[in-house]
Amino acid sequence: MTVLPTMTGRTMRAATILIALSSALLLTAPASAQEMDAPNTLTPAERADGWTLLFDGETAAGWRGYNDEDFPDTGWTIEDGVLTIEGAGGGVSGSGGDIITTETYEDFVLKLEWKISEGGNSGIFYRAIEQPDQPIYWSAPEMQILDNANHPDAGRGENGNRKAGSLYDLIPADPQTFSGHGEWQDVMIVVEGGHVEHWLNGQKVLEYETWTPGWYRMIRDSKFRTHPEFGDAREGHIGLQDHGTTAHFRNIKIKEL
């Protein structure tokens, strides 16, 4: 386990994060064992530790459409404890559009599970801001969701930076721990100050520091160069992407730091 860099005023928070990171070891349990637990619930220990459910398994409470006051009427469904975007096929967005949390978050640990359809593509956004007439991805960093074996994006970008778990189009997930379409994948995203970590299926696959000279150089050399708002927000929404293919989500929970 990599210990987070020491920064002024962060010692106590770092200890809290390390506790949360240690729980990631539980994600390595076989899927069949994990699915024995009731989905979309918090244990007494999680409640005591400050975790909050972002999806109750039955309603869209706490979510709404991006740049919209309401949850989408079409595209997104909730059934058997799973939040699903039903893919319209082919397009960057389907009939539902991206959704975001009604609340915004600054420093946090986010956990969830996702399952992607064959050839599917989606994403998890964080610290997203809303901009009229601008898609969510021009402001928010994205943890990529992808069927690496069957979607052409897996071979695009550089060094695999569009594969599952990557910081989309910027930093590749290494190691690549995606287990395949049709299977539940466990995610943990740690965001504290400028430090960010992506975990996929119990392994840390990348980490980076925002707002540094190296960060801004990377952005200048990327597709986001004309969007100075990208990754610059200190607080924002959690978002789930409608990319025109079917994706499923459950066990979405967050701990603010």
Strand partners, 208: 196
Q: Nearest Cα to 53, choosing from 115, 135, 111?
A: 111
Q: Which residues lie below 8 Å from residue 15, measured CB to CB, with a gap of 6+?
A: none
- Tell me, what's the pLDDT at 38? 87
Quote the Cα angle for 109-113-118, to 5°: 140
The two tokens of residue 88 are 């319209």
- Residue 50 CB neighbours (<10 A): 13
CB contact at 8 A, 165 and 143: yes
- Confidence (pLDDT) at 5: 42
Q: 1-10 pLDDT, tens per residue?
A: 333 344 444 5
pLDDT along the chain (257 residues), means of 10: 41 50 47 60 97 98 98 96 85 80 98 98 98 96 98 96 98 98 98 98 98 97 97 98 96 98
Residue with tokens 């106590």: 12
pLDDT of residue 249: 98
Q: Quick one: which of 225, 245, 133, 233 has its CA closest to 191? A: 233
| pTM score of the predicted model | 0.87
Give exposure, 55-94, as e/b (b: 16+ Cβ within 10 Å): bebeebebbbbbeeeebbeebbebeeebbbbbbbeeeebb
Give the span between the Cα atoms of 131 and 202, in whole angstroms: 34
pLDDT at 95: 80
β-pair partners for 228: none
In terms of Cβ atoms closer than 10 Å to its own Cβ (0-12, 13-18, 19+), residue 222 is middle
**pLDDT recorded at residue 172:** 98
Please choose, from the candidates 140, 138, 69, 141, the residue with its C-alpha nearest in 3D space to the C-alpha of residue 102.
Answer: 69
Q: Which DSSP category does 136 fall into? A: G
